[in-house]
Structure 1
Amino acid sequence: MTISGGHALVRSLAAHGVDRVFGIPGTHNLEIYSWLGTYGITQTAPRHEQGAGYAADAYARVTGRPGVVVTTAGPGVLNAATAAAQAYSDSVPMLLVSPGMPARRPATAAGRLHETKDQSGALGAIVEWSHRATTVAEVETAAARAFGFLSGRDRPRPVHLEIPIDVLAECAELGPVPPRHRPVPAAPAPPGRIEAAARALRSGTVTIVAGGGARGAAAEVAELAGLLGAPVVTTANGKGVLSERHPLSLGVGLHLPAVRDRLAACDHVVAVGTELAEPDFWCTPPELPDVVRIDLDPGHGGRHLLVGDAALTLRALNERLRPPGRRAPDPGLPLLRRARDAQAGEQGRRWLDALAAVRAALAPDAIITSDSAMACYYGALPNLPIEPGGRYLHPSGYGTLGYALPAAVGAKVAAPGRQVVALSGDGGLQFAIAELATAADLGLPLPVVVFDNGGYGEIRAEMLARGDVPLGVDQRTPDLPAIAAAYGCAGTVAPGPDALGAALRRALHRPRPTVIVVPEEKA
Structure 2
Amino acid sequence: MSELPTEPVPLTGGEAVVRALAAHGVTQAFGIPGTHNLEIYRHLAAYGVAHVTPRHEQGAGYAADAYARVSGRPGVAITTTGPALLNIAAAVGQAYSDSVPLLVVSPGMPLRHPRQPTGLLHEMRSQTEALRGVAAFSHRVSAVEEIAAALARAFTLFTTGRPRPVHIEIPLDLLEAAEPVGRVRIAPQAGPALPAPAELRRAADALRAASRPALVLGGGAREAAAELLALAEELAAPVVTTANGKGIVDESHPLSLGVSLHSPAVQKWLADRDVVLAVGTELAESDLWSAPPELSGTLVRVDVDPAQMYAEVPADVALVGDARQSLRELLAAYRSRGPLGGGAGRQGTAEPRVAREGETRAVPPRAAELRLVRDTGPGDGDARAEALASAREAVTELRLARDAHAEALAGAHRGVAGLRRERDAETRDRDARWLPYLAAIRATLDTDAVITSDSAQCCYYGAIPHLPVAPDGRYLHPTGFGTLGYALPAAIGAKTAAPDRQVIALSGDGGLQFSVQDLATAAQLQLPLPVVVFDNGGYGEIRDEMTARGDAPAAVDLAPVDLPALARAYGGHGEHATTPEALAAALARALTTPGPTVITVPEETAR
Quote the residue 1:336 is aligned against: 419
Which of the residues 198, 202, 208 maps onto 1:196? 202
Is structure 2 residue 512 aligned with structure 1 residue 506? Answer: no
Q: Which runs of 5+ in 1 are unaligned?
A: none
CA–CA separation in structure 2 for the residues paired with 1:131 and 1:377? 35
Cα distance, 1:347 vs. partner? 4.0
Alpha-carbon shift at residue 344 of structure 1 (Å): 5.4
Q: Which residue of 2 aligns with 1:305?
A: 318
Range with greater deviation from structure 2 (92-101 or 473-482): 473-482
User: What's the counterpart of residue 483 of structure 2?
Assistant: 400
Distance 2:489 2:480 in 1: 18
Q: Over residues 499-521 of structure 1, what are the superposed CA-to-partner deviations in whole Å (9 max), with x where a residue is unaligned?
A: 00000000001011100000012
1:474 to partner: Cα distance: 0.7
Question: What is aligned with 2:44?
Answer: 36
Structure 1 counterpart SS, 2:604: coil
Q: Counterpart of 2:370? A: none
Q: For residue 520 of structure 2, what is the aligned residue in structure 1?
A: 437
Cα-to-partner distance string for 1:362-402 (whole Å, 9 max, x where unaligned): 00000000000000000000000101000000001111100
Matched residue SS, 1:342: helix
- Which of 158, 171, 177 lines up with 2:165 in the alignment? 158
Distance 1:459 1:106 in 2: 45
Partners of 2:81 and 2:432 in 1: how far apart? 46
- Cα distance between partner residues in 2 of 1:295 and 1:460: 38
RMSD: 1.3
Given the alignment, which residue of 516, 533, 536 partners 1:450? 533
> 1:333 Cα deviation (Å)?
3.2
Deviation at 1:70, TM superposition (A): 0.3
Q: Does the CA contact (< 8 Å) of 1:2 and 1:173 recur in 2?
A: yes
- Cross-structure match for 2:348: none
1:440 & 1:151 partners in 2: Cα distance? Answer: 34
Answering whether residue 276 of structure 2 is matched by residue 296 of structure 1, we say no
- Alpha-carbon shift at residue 336 of structure 1 (Å): 2.0
Which residue of 566, 590, 595 maps to 1:483? 566
Q: CA deviation at 1:50?
A: 0.1
TM-score normalised by L of structure 2: 0.84
Name 2:494's counterpart in structure 1: 411
Structure 2 residue matching 1:145: 3-state secondary structure: helix
Are 2:24 and 1:49 aligned? no
Is the aligned partner of 1:287 residue 2:300?
A: no
What's the secondary structure of 2:557's corresponding residue?
coil
SS at the partner of 2:418?
helix
Query: Which residue does the alignment assign to 1:361?
Result: 444
Written as runs of structure 1 = structure 2, the 5 A alignment for 1:83-162 is 83-152=91-160, 154-162=161-169
Aligned to 1:467: 550
- d(CA) in 2 for partners of 1:43, 1:334: 47
Is the CA contact 2:529–2:597 (under 8 Å) kept in the aligned structure 1? Answer: yes
Q: Structure 1: how far apart are the matches of 2:316 and 2:555?
A: 46
Letter in 1 for 2:598: V
Q: Distance in 2 between matches of 1:337 and 1:503?
A: 31
Aligned 8 A contact 1:426 1:477 in 2: no
Match of 1:291, as an amino acid?
Answer: L
Matched residue, 1:263: 270
What is the aligned length? 521
Amino acid at match of 1:167: L
- Could you tell me how far apart the structure 1 residues matched to 2:439 and 2:16 are? 51
Counterparts of 1:267 and 1:116, CA distance in 2: 54
Tell me which amino acid in the other structure corresponds to 1:58. Answer: A
Cα separation, 1, equivalents of 2:322 and 2:216: 16
Q: Deviations over 1:288-344 (max 9, x none)?
A: 232100001111221111101111111111122232433423363332233234335
CA distance in 2 between counterparts of 1:54 and 1:185 reads: 29
Give yes or no for contact 1:227–1:321 (8 Å, CA) kept in 2: no
Contact 1:344 1:382 in 2 (8 A): no
Deviation at 1:21, TM superposition (A): 0.7
Q: Describe the SS at the equivalent of 2:182.
A: coil
Deviations 1:232-261 (A, max 9, x none): 000000000000010100000000111101
How far apart are the structure 2 equivalents of 1:210 and 1:57? 21
* 8 Å Cα contact 2:256-2:416 kept in structure 1: no
Q: Is the 8 A contact 1:240 1:391 kept in 2?
A: yes
Change beyond 3 A, Cα 1:341–1:224: farther
Question: d(CA) in 1 for partners of 2:190 and 2:131?
Answer: 26
Deviation at residue 345 of structure 1 after TM alignment: 4.5
Distance 1:372 1:125 in 2: 22
Q: How do 1:198-277 and structure 2 match up within 5 A?
A: 198-203=204-209, 204-277=211-284
CA contact (8 A) 2:107 2:170 kept: yes
Q: CA deviation at 1:187?
A: 2.7
Matched AA of 2:236? G
Counterpart in 2 of 1:385? 468
User: Matches of 1:6 and 1:24 in 2, distance apart?
Assistant: 15
Amino acid across the alignment from 1:158: P
| Residue number in structure 1 paired with 2:455 | 372
1:142 Cα shift?
Answer: 1.0
Does the C-alpha gap of structure 1 residues 226 and 45 become closer, same or farther in structure 2, counting only changes over 3 Å? same
Counterpart AA for 2:197: P
- 3-state SS of paired residue (2:475): strand
Corresponding residue number in structure 1 for 2:190: 184
Match of 1:20 in 2: 28
Counterpart in 2 of 1:492?
Answer: 575
Paired with 1:316 and 1:106, the residues of 2 have a C-alpha distance of 55
